[in-house]
Amino acid sequence: MMAKLYRLLTADDTSEFCHKVSEALSKGWELYGDPAYGFDAANGVMRCAQAVTKDVPQDYSPDMKLGQQ
């Protein structure tokens, strides 16, 4: 059985965010929708978010470590 996994990657608006998304793409995750940006007033920085999905050949379990898939 196949499962579709979903992750929401977030980070400050720095190269760290781009590297996080690039790493996920290199592991077979696919972009899902547009990125989002917002101002984090408590920390005074812009924050980024990007949803990604991935089909895996196993049943979904809440115990899955999504970052290791």
What's the confidence (pLDDT) of residue 56? 92
Spatial CB neighbours of 40, under 8 Å, sequence gap ≥ 6: 12, 46, 47
Domains in the chain: boundaries: 3-56
CATH hierarchy code of domain 3-56: 3.30.70
Cα angle 60, 33, 11; round to 5: 80
Question: Whose structure tokens read 């579709």?
Answer: 4
Residue-level pLDDT, tens digit, the chain, 69 residues: 889 999 999 999 999 999 999 999 999 999 999 999 999 999 999 999 999 999 999 888 888 888 777
Strands in the chain per DSSP E: 3-12, 30-40, 45-56
**Is 46 in contact with 37 (CB distance < 8 Å)?**
yes
